[in-house]
Amino acid sequence: MGEKEISAKMQDIMNRMKSRREELNMSYQTLSEKVGISKSTLQRYETGYIKNMPVDKLEDIAKALDISPSYLMGWDEPAKPTTLAAHFDGDEYTEDELKEIRQFAEFVKEKRK
């Protein structure tokens, strides 16, 4: 693997890291505290100033960003939710409205057939 490939790979990792951090509205400071490294070191990882990130730090960063290390490395996509659920306390809908909601859910299931 040549120098350009390593740089492109690191760029992908940096982009995923930054994108996820921003998606979570997480500051460098907050992430650095969760990971246990200095804010400046984290910034240097994310900007590519430090070109070789230790595997244990990559794992810690992924965990703090609530993603898998393999996603951060670009080996797989982030997990997609597989379950959709709704919780009703019972007082925000009338019995008739709850019945309509159940009927609509059944209608949606029937469309699959």
Ordered per-residue pLDDT tens for the chain, 113 residues? 444 545 788 888 889 999 999 988 999 999 999 999 999 999 998 888 888 888 899 999 999 999 999 988 888 876 555 556 666 666 777 888 888 888 888 888 887 76
The string of DSSP codes covering 46-112 is HHTSS----HHHHHHHHHHTTS-HHHHHTSSPPPPP--------SSSS-HHHHHHHHHHHHHHHHHT
As a whole number of angstroms, the distance between CA 95 and CA 48 comes to 57
Nearest to 38 by CA among 55, 57, 63, 66: 57
pTM of the model: 0.62
Q: Where are the domains of the chain?
A: 3-73
Q: Which CATH architecture has domain 3-73?
A: Orthogonal Bundle (1.10)
pLDDT, tens digit (0-9, with 9 covering 90-100), for 89-108: 667 778 888 888 888 888 88
